[in-house]
């Protein structure tokens, strides 16, 4: 009986996770998968970069919808991105993923589970107050400077961009777990810097085309979901 109940719970969970997607979002996922497939078979992209691209893209889209299953793909993409970062001497990104993203995503599962809408299995979105915004971003500048200096000492291949991305990503992931709309503003900045960094790496001969595509998509998705969350918060 217990096993049967668990199976029903799983079926209901999957059903709710797959619900609430509009036509443009479905077409968007298909379009991205086609681009990644093109990179895989025509440009002979790295298998690790391809799998990361798929999982990373699914994480971002599902997180944007406020579905808790995003963290499954988030954990996989963080592990793969750690490997890519190590291979390309991006030590800030490596530490960020292994020491922060993975633990925070595990925490996010438990935090989001407390704030799910029963009808759609989506999270309730929030917004930071002015005091929280001032404290959060006032701390970002000095920490960024310290991080950049440290990465210079470690001979990081892109210390300035990597340092800024690391600090801003810490803030963005914190805001993600808090379900705050401001996360998308920070992610847009991080994703823009990431596109620049990985384009530079590709110009040096590394086959990371799918990684570049994913960061471009992340950038566009950040803009899209910012306005989607803003619309929902206006209605609440």
Look-up of token digits 């998968």: 33
Average pLDDT over residues 143-150: 86
At 74 the pLDDT is 92
Q: pLDDT tens digit string along 167-203? A: 888 899 899 999 999 999 999 999 998 898 888 888 8
pLDDT: which is higher, 80 or 43 = 80
Look-up of token digits 């530490």: 95
Q: Is the pLDDT of residue 105 over 90?
A: yes
Q: Which residues contact 89 (CB under 8 A, 6 or more apart)?
A: 155, 156, 157
Cβ pair 92, 147 in contact under 8 A: yes
Report yes or no on whether pTM surpasses 0.85: no
Cβ pair 220, 187 in contact under 8 A: no
CA 215 to chain centre: 9
């Amino acid at each position: 009986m217990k096993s049967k109940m668990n199976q029903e719970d799983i079926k209901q969970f999957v059903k709710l996770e797959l619900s609430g997607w509009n036509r443009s979002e479905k077409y968007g996922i298909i379009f991205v998968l086609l681009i990644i497939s093109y990179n895989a078979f025509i440009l002979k992209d790295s298998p690790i970069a391809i799998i990361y691209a798929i999982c990373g893209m699914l994480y971002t889209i599902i997180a944007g919808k406020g579905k808790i299953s995003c963290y499954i793909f988030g954990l996989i993409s963080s592990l793969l991105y750690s490997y890519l970062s190590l291979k390309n001497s991006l030590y800030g990104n490596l530490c960020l993923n292994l020491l922060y993203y993975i633990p925070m995503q595990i925490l996010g599962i438990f935090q989001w589970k407390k704030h799910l809408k029963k009808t759609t299995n989506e999270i309730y979105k929030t917004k930071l107050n002015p005091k929280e915004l001032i404290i959060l971003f006032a701390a970002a500048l000095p920490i960024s400077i310290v991080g950049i200096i440290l990465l210079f000492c470690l001979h990081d291949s892109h210390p300035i961009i990597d340092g800024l991305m690391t600090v801003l990503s810490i803030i963005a992931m914190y805001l993600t777990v808090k379900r705050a709309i401001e996360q998308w503003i920070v992610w847009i900045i991080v994703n823009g810097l990431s596109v620049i960094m990985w384009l530079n790496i590709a110009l040096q001969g590394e086959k990371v085309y799918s990684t570049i595509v994913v960061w471009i998509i992340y950038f566009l998705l950040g803009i899209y979901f910012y306005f989607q969350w803003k619309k929902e918060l206006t209605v609440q």
